[in-house]
Amino acid sequence: MSSPEGERLTITLPDSVRQRVVEIASEALGKLPAADVPAPLRPFAKFAPAKRAKAAAVPMAAALESDGSFRARVAERVREASPDLSDSLFAGVVPAAADPHEVAAVAYVLRPHGWTGIVKDALEAVTQGARLAAGEAAETEVARLTAEVAELRESTRLAADELRVAQEEARREGDQLRRKVRQLEADMRRALAAARAAETALEAERAAAASAASASEAELRRLRTRLTAAETALDTARRSARSGRSEGDMRLRLLLDTVTGAVKGLERELALPPTETRPADTVGAASPDSVAPSDMSVQGRAKDDPALLDQYLALPMVHLVVDGYNVTKTGYPTLSLAEQRVRLVGGLAALAARTGAEVTCVFDGAALDGPVRLTQPRGVRVLFSAPGEIADELIRRLVAAEPAGRPVVVVSSDREVAEGVRRSGARPVPASMLLNRMARS
């Protein structure tokens, strides 16, 4: 007979018992019809039991506590799985050999008459078992520490013995060192006597060296006299060489002055006016700082006509800046972000190869979910906005970095981006125009 609903458990289940309750409910949940599964647990119904017990632990415990019908269906499964234990609990008898964790969990689910007392007794048994286990662990730890103390005492005794041996060895080494010091002192006295004898010999050598130095100084004075004579002869030879070179330089300068005078005379005779023009200035084309959207032939064209984009890309030194995700989400929104980037950058690479324009494609770095491995095609610069910056701000900085007068075309259907770059002198075009141009290719 089940307990009335008014009976409530006044203590909190330990984690081990609560985990077992969730495991029982998880095993039963996989066998219930879909209509009998509470709405919060339906997303987890098809999970494996272990995964379901881990992922749905909180909602499953809440359903067992609050949903009586769900708990009753779980109880039916428990009675089928553990009939002996279930019958004993309903009879008010707890098997002596039963695991107290299992008894507490099954009693919590079945809730027979007096189930709170059964759960409390089982939890007391769990606590008692934990105490016994802790006591055994403590005894084991004490035994281990006692063994370690014995080992430390033995190692300390051995270390003391080794220290005594080392002290004895150090004493013997000290005696040997003292004997060596006495030997070195005797050697030093002999060395001092030899040094005094060497000083006497050095004085004699110094006297002989002084005599040799006097002779060397006399020879040096003679050599200096000869060197002075040689320097005088060399200076005379250099003056003669410079005189011959000056005459050659004078002849060369006179020849250059003659040629220069002939050129100036020819200029006066032809009377050609000065000019600053160059051949490239005579070619009929609009200069970069004078071309505006109104200069293009746009009459009768749709706002997304790719022919207008072709005219923009034909401008000299044009720079095409593309708002990446604005274009891809307009053209192929069903693809993943990585597939969108690859498709757009590939199309831009083909466009750059055909037109020779400088192409920069900007993506929003905040939309990335990990490192991007994207090989940049030749002719296309791929940039991502830095953390804390959106792609719109990066586009405005790119436009502001261009020198005044250079044609810059920005592809974006974002009105704020278009207005911002237009004020900076760039030419905004909608994303559909670029998509039509790449589709035509």
> Helix or strand or coil: residue 411?
strand
Q: Exposed, middle or buried, 2 (CB in 10 Å: 0-12/13-18/19+)?
A: middle
**What mean pLDDT do residues 242-260 have?**
59
Contacts of 171 (CB under 8 A, 6+ apart): none
Report the C-alpha gap between 256 and 251 in whole angstroms. Answer: 9
Determine the pLDDT at residue 207. 85
Residues of the chain with CATH 3.40.50: 306-440
Q: pLDDT tens digits for 154-188? A: 988 899 899 999 999 989 998 999 999 999 999 99
Where do runs of H (alpha helix) occur along 301-408? Answer: 306-313, 324-331, 337-355, 391-401
Report the C-alpha gap between 304 and 332 in whole angstroms. Answer: 17
- Secondary element (H or E) of residue 224: helix 115-270
Strands 380-384 vs 408-411: parallel, antiparallel or unpaired? unpaired
Residue 94 has which token pair? 């707890």
Contacts of 120 (CB under 8 A, 6+ apart): 9, 11
Highest mean pLDDT among 45-49, 119-123, 367-371, 426-430: 426-430
Backbone angles phi, psi at 359, to 5 degrees: -125, 130
- Cut 0.95: pTM above it: no
* Higher local confidence (pLDDT), 55 or 282: 55
Residues recorded for the chain? 441
Contacts of 112 (CB under 8 A, 6+ apart): 1, 2, 3, 89, 90, 92, 118
Strands 319-323 vs 427-429: parallel, antiparallel or unpaired? unpaired
Contacts of 426 (CB under 8 A, 6+ apart): 321, 399, 402, 408, 409, 410
**What mean pLDDT do residues 36-54 have?**
77
285 band by pLDDT with thresholds 50, 70 and 90: very low
Determine the pLDDT at residue 248. 57
Determine the pLDDT at residue 369. 61
Asked if the model's pLDDT at residue 278 lies above 90, the reply is no
Strand-pairing partners, residue 112, are: 2
Asked if the model's pLDDT at residue 290 lies above 50, the reply is no
DSSP letter for 132, please.
H
Report the C-alpha gap between 310 and 301 in whole angstroms. Answer: 13
Q: pLDDT tens digits for 199-215? A: 888 888 888 888 887 88
Q: Exposed, middle or buried, 368 (CB in 10 Å: 0-12/13-18/19+)?
A: middle
Determine the pLDDT at residue 275. 42
Residue 280 has which token pair? 């490239």
Percent of the chain having pLDDT more than 90?
30
Report the C-alpha gap between 413 and 431 in whole angstroms. Answer: 5
CA 116 to chain centre: 56
The CATH T-level fold of domain 306-440 is Rossmann fold (3.40.50)
Residue 174 has which token pair? 């000290």
259 band by pLDDT with thresholds 50, 70 and 90: low
* Higher local confidence (pLDDT), 332 or 208: 332
